[in-house]
């Protein structure tokens, strides 16, 4: 399926949308398509909003954000996010704030169809005083009280991966993040991949499959679909882009100029990739192949 069709069919105004990937495999191509299709009133959830949600906020797609760390990793603040929170530009942004551990547990509870999960975390932090979703449960085995976070059930989760077969059986290596948990918690799942491979490639190494086709709504072949984030074994993180974003996004005009040129100004990721061919080549990964293992019996 094309990205245009996948977003058109499975991402709706007002949805709770999750686009995960912890620095690795962030589905930027899907984010750009959501901006092009002018989705509105989205609630976005993600551990690290990163540049992808900063762009969606600036584009006016977002009503609310659920997150745990809103910065430009290794660089500084997320300017569009701060403008929205501090000044209501382009529109007020409601926030619901956790920690990384809390977000991971929310996805796991959702994926497990449980109302909540407990943790030993959270005594003493003020986060529990500003977010009423942190609640306590008493252990039935002792007098201990534990803080809990509620399950999160996204309407749609979008993940990018190295490869999948045409049925959506999806394999990832390198950093796993929370993509598996987010996908299982979600009503709909869109998988975008660097490469669609024959099922026999997936079946040659079943332990690498993190998302089974049975929960996948759409599979989209989208090479370079995670730029400026990285794909282990395919291309490196574009750290220069992350540094430049600090300048690009500092004022609304600069950010609008970026969206006009790199999002609205291109029809799809293929055109985007062509537009930065040299950069893509510079980011190409070198080869460090793993030792294959034997699945015979």
Partner 1 sequence: MADYTTSELMVSRAAKELKSGDVVFVGIGVPSLAVNLAYRMHAKDLCMIYESGAVGCVPTRLPISIGDPCLVTGSLAVVPMLDVFNLYLQGGKIDVGFLGGAQVDRFGNINSTVIGDYRKPKVRLPGSGGACEIAALAKRVVITISNSKRTLPEKVDFVTSPGYLRGGREREALGLQGGPDLVITDMGVYHFDPQTRELVLESLHPGITLETIRDNTGWPLKTAPTLKETPEPSAEEIRIVRDELDPQGIFLRSRAG
User: Residue 233, interface with its own copies (CB under 8 A)?
Assistant: yes
First to last CA, the chain: 37
Quote the CA–CA distance of 276 and 223 in Å, as a whole number: 13
The interface partner of residue 277, options being partner 1, its own copies, none and the CB cut-off 5 to 8 Å by kind, is none
* Residues 6+ away with beta carbon under 8 Å from 284: 235, 236
Binding mask 207-246 for partner 1 (x = CB under 8 A): x-x--xxxx--------------x-x---xx-x--x----
* Strand 71-72 with 42-45, pairing: unpaired
Site for partner 1 in 105-164 (CB under 8 A): 105, 108, 111-114, 119-127, 130, 144
User: Residue 115, interface with its own copies (CB under 8 A)?
Assistant: yes
Distances 171 to 110, 210, 211 between C-alpha atoms, Å: 21, 6, 7
How many residues touch its own copies under the rule CB under 8 A: the total is 49
User: Residue 198, interface with partner 1 (CB under 8 A)?
Assistant: no
Question: What's the angle, vertex CA 286, arms to CA 282 and CA 287, rounded to 5?
Answer: 160
The interface partner of residue 169, options being partner 1, its own copies, none and the CB cut-off 5 to 8 Å by kind, is partner 1
Binding mask 30-69 for partner 1 (x = CB under 8 A): -----------------xx------------------xxx
Quote the CA–CA distance of 191 and 125 in Å, as a whole number: 36
Question: What's the angle, vertex CA 51, arms to CA 47 and CA 52, rounded to 5?
Answer: 75
Torsions phi, psi for 194 (to 5 deg):
-65, -35
DSSP 297: -
The interface partner of residue 257, options being its own copies, partner 1, none and the CB cut-off 5 to 8 Å by kind, is none
Sign of CA dihedral 91, 96, 100, 105: negative
The interface partner of residue 201, options being partner 1, its own copies, none and the CB cut-off 5 to 8 Å by kind, is its own copies
Binding mask 244-283 for partner 1 (x = CB under 8 A): ----------------------------------------
Torsions phi, psi for 251 (to 5 deg):
-125, 160
Binding mask 124-163 for its own copies (x = CB under 8 A): -----------xxxxxxxx-x-x-x-x-----------x-
User: Smallest distance, Å, CB 61 to partner 1?
Assistant: 20
Among 3, 11, 19, 22, binds partner 1 (CB under 8 A): 22
The interface partner of residue 160, options being partner 1, its own copies, none and the CB cut-off 5 to 8 Å by kind, is none
CB atoms within 10 A of CB 86: 9
Q: Give, to the nearest 10 degrees, the angle between helix 252-259 and helix 239-248.
A: 130
Quote the CA–CA distance of 170 and 163 in Å, as a whole number: 6
User: Residue 28, interface with partner 1 (CB under 8 A)?
Assistant: no
* Strand 42-45 with 62-67, pairing: parallel
The interface partner of residue 8, options being its own copies, partner 1, none and the CB cut-off 5 to 8 Å by kind, is none
Pick 215 or 220: Cβ nearer partner 1: 215
Please report, as ranges, the residues that interact with its own copies according to CB under 8 A. 113-120, 135-142, 144, 146, 148, 150, 162, 173-174, 176, 201, 204-205, 207-208, 230, 232-237, 285-297
């Amino acid at each position: 399926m094309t990205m245009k069709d996948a977003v058109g069919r499975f991402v709706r105004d007002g949805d709770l949308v999750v686009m995960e990937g912890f620095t690795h495999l962030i589905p930027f191509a899907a984010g750009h398509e959501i901006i092009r299709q002018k989705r509105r009133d989205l609630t976005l959830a993600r551990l690290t909003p990163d540049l992808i949600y900063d762009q969606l906020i600036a584009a006016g797609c977002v009503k609310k954000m659920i997150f745990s760390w809103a910065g430009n990793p290794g660089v500084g603040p997320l300017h569009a996010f701060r403008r929205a929170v501090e000044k209501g530009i382009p529109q007020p942004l409601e926030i619901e704030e956790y920690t990384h551990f809390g977000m991971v547990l929310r996805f796991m509870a959702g994926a497990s169809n449980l109302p909540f999960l407990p943790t030993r975390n959270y005594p003493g932090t003020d986060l529990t005083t500003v977010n009423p979703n942190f609640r306590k449960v008493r252990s039935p085995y002792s007098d201990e009280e534990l803080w809990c976070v509620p399950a999160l059930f996204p309407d749609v989760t979008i993940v990018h991966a190295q490869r999948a077969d045409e049925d959506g059986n999806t394999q990832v290596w390198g950093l796993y993040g929370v993509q598996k948990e987010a996908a299982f918690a979600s009503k709909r799942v869109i998988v975008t991949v660097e490469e669609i491979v024959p099922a026999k490639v997936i079946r040659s190494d079943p332990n690498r499959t993190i998302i089974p086709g049975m929960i996948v709504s759409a599979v989209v072949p989208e090479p370079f679909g995670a730029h400026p984030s990285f794909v282990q074994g395919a291309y490196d993180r574009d750290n220069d882009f992350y540094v430049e974003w600090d300048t690009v996004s500092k004022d609304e005009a600069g950010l609008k100029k970026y969206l006009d040129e790199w999002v609205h100004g291109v029809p799809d990721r293929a055109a985007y990739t062509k537009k930065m061919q040299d950069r893509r080549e510079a980011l190409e990964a070198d080869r460090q192949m793993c030792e294959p293992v034997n699945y015979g019996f």
